[in-house]
Chains A and B, each alone.
Chain A
Amino acid sequence: MSTEAGTETVGRQDRHTGSMLDVARFEGERRLPMTGVLAVVFALFGAMFVALAPDIVSTGAYDDIIEAMPPAMVALVGFENFSSIAGVISGEFYTFTWVVGLGAYLAYSAAGSVAGDLRNDRMDTLLAAPLSRTNVLLGKYLGLLVPIVVLNVVIPLVIYAGSVLVDDPIALADLAALHALSIPYLLLWAAFGLLLGVVVRRGRTAGRAALGVVLAMWLLESFVTSTDFEWLGAVSPMRYFDPAAILVNGEYGLEGAALLLGVAVVFVALSRTVFVRSDL
């Protein structure tokens, strides 16, 4: 019996503790493949719009169609600004990719990152380590910065390069502002997904619910535009991030971005409170 060895082991002081960044690194790494796929798809989609934009703008081919459509429909598919390349890109490309697509992806992923772990006992495996629940939650949230940052760097370069190639360069400052201001918007959806994941917990259900809410909010904001119920759209995050306003009119809407960021912080804090208190 080597009790001495045991005493030595117990007395060892240099115990390692895990950090939020360890979690964030792992989670971020896991997001890389999907980030790559999204980058390629968005880049191709964007290139297509940039290539087609000069034709759409010069021929006015869609003017009749737009006039015949109800305003809600026009708002939904972003046909308001078909008179310039910036209008086409912001109304079409950024609506579908950033406002809806990326928002939905982040909400879904954030919800799944927590709910999926809870459902499959991965959270037990993770929290068996000397790691606080706050670290786990924030680490998972930070991991979502990988798609947010990568896409916000790669895609504007593609769009700008494309607009130069078709001889109608987009204002670089506006493009940069658009992407910078999209970050609070995307962080908000990620935070919302996180909260849903912690509250709903049921694996894929949380992700699907998050997806549903993103789409519902987009439809809500589109349909109430120029109606008596326009005030309803105030609850939709889409109201506070308007690519067309930034790219076409140069209206940055900083207050809106600040509001989105504030709500994102509240959602993360709320998720943390729920997560720390509940049974896994």
Chain B
Amino acid sequence: MNVIETTGLTKYYGEVRGVEDLSLSVGKGEVFGFLGPNGAGKTTTIRTLMGFQSPTEGTATVLGADITDAAALRDARGRIGYLPSEPGFDENVTGRRLLEYHGSLRGDVRSEELLELFDPPLDRKVGQYSRGNKQMLAIVMAFMHDPDLVVMDEPTSGLDPLKQDQFLEFIRAEQERGKTFFFSSHILSEVRKVCDRIGIIRNGHLVELENVESLLDRTGKVVRANVGGAVTAEEFAIEGAHDVTVSGESAEGAAPVTTESDGGGEDSTTVSFTYTGPYQPLLRHLLNYDLLELAIEEAPLEDIFMRFYGDHDAEAVVERVENGRTDGHDGHEETDSRNAEAADV
């Protein structure tokens, strides 16, 4: 039996769409990355799965409990850890008292051990906590009852990079112990480190489920190189490079972005493109130039999305994918524009 199973899960806030027709399943012991830009409907989905709000249409089960069956879901929550992106706490009590309280509600079998990894200042009042400390407290609460499933909504937000890595490491270890994770994020790099499978949600629709490897093969990186002298886009038409743009190119007449360095007269050119091939050929090619600056970054999720389907109009992509998968829904455009503001309430 799948740990999470949704069928046509839909949530509207009045006229505004939170998530629509979401069907996915997460198997036991899996780390499922639920990826999407901000406002895509991730929080809506998670809050619906937790039973904080009821779906408009469709069904879902979590650990076998129907999410519309309050009693069954309450029992299931005893085996679920929940880690929100911005946890709300009573600010007038100390972290220790709050842990004790939540321990009394869900059971506490391992908070001591967790506090060695994630160590908020327990004797201080939560109101004085930094964002990162609050998040660490929330992590301890989410895992203190040793749940079988942990539902996380942008869990690394607020953690410093060191703690983020520690947390992702921790997730890997917990997965080995057989835990299942539902991990929402808008950052591909953190999801790729731990997730077995990724679903992308955009404007309330689930668009693609892939395993990480094939997703990565197709996403590519954003390469930005600043090289001395003039360069043309054609020179960078190497295998794996897409959408090469050159700024500072001495095109006819005006040379718009050419930067004159202080030494006087030495031109440099910035080349940027998306690259989907291996590193070696790219670096070899770049070394043919006077390389002044180089940045290789993960492409933003929106770009990945476009690259994914070789289409620059993301809205059209969604439509096409939707139409290809089902017989299409009417009236998407109307709600899409409103969705961004209202989805993550």
Q: Which residues of A contact B (CB under 8 A)?
A: 1-3, 5-10, 15-18, 22-23, 25-26, 30, 117, 120-133, 276, 279-280
Contacts and interface: CB of A to CB of B under 8 A. Distances in A.
B71 interface: yes
B31 to A, nearest CB: 13
Interface stretch (B176-184, B205-213, B214-222, B274-282): B176-184
Interface in B275-325: none
B52 A280 contact: yes
A6 B52 contact: no
A15 B105 CA distance: 11
Nearest to B54: A279
21 contacts: A2-B176, A3-B29, A6-B178, A7-B178, A9-B148, A16-B106, A16-B107, A22-B101, A22-B104, A121-B86, A121-B88, A122-B88, A124-B47, A125-B88, A125-B102, A126-B105, A127-B50, A131-B77, A131-B105, A280-B52, A280-B53
Contact of A1 (B47, B81, B146, B176): B176
B338 interface: no
B236 interface: no
B105 A280 contact: no
Contacts of A122: 88-90
B93 interface: yes
Given A2-B178, A30-B93, A122-B90, A129 B28 contact: no
Interface string B25-55: 0001100000000000000000100111110
Given A22-B105, A279-B53, A30 B92 contact: yes
B50 A124 contact: yes
B58 interface: no
Given A17-B75, A125-B82, A279-B54, 19 more contacts: A1-B176, A3-B178, A6-B177, A6-B179, A9-B146, A10-B79, A15-B78, A15-B107, A16-B106, A18-B104, A122-B88, A124-B47, A124-B50, A124-B82, A125-B89, A128-B142, A129-B77, A129-B78, A131-B74
A170 B313 CA distance: 83
Contacts of B105: 16, 18, 22-23, 126, 129-131
Nearest to B77: A130
B204 interface: no
A110 B74 CA distance: 24
B87 interface: yes
A32 B72 CA distance: 35
Given A6-B28, A6-B178, A128 B82 contact: yes
Nearest to A134: B70
A171 B223 CA distance: 89
A16 B104 CA distance: 8
Given A15-B78, A125-B84, A280-B53, A10 B47 contact: no
Size category of the binding interface on chain B: 35 or more
Nearest to A126: B105
Contact of A128 (B53, B80, B89, B179): B80
B202 interface: no
A10 B148 CA distance: 6
A3 B180 CA distance: 12
Contact of B106 (A2, A129, A133, A276): A129
Query: Taking each of A10, A23, A276, which has the highest tally of chain B beta carbons within 10 Å of its own beta carbon?
Result: A10
Nearest to B51: A127
A110 to B, nearest CB: 16
Contacts of B53: 279-280
B2 to A, nearest CB: 13
Contacts of B50: 124, 127-128
A128 B50 CA distance: 7
B145 interface: yes
Contacts of B146: 9
A22 B108 CA distance: 14
Nearest to B101: A26
A274 to B, nearest CB: 14
Interface in B78-129: 78-82, 84, 86-90, 92-93, 101-102, 104-107
**4 cross-chain pairs, A with B, having the tightest CB-CB distances, nearest first:** A6-B178, A16-B107, A121-B88, A18-B105
A132 to B, nearest CB: 5
A25 B80 CA distance: 24
A272 to B, nearest CB: 12
A223 B157 CA distance: 56
Contacts of A8: 178
A132 B70 CA distance: 8
A8 B92 CA distance: 38
Contacts of A1: 176
A165 B81 CA distance: 59
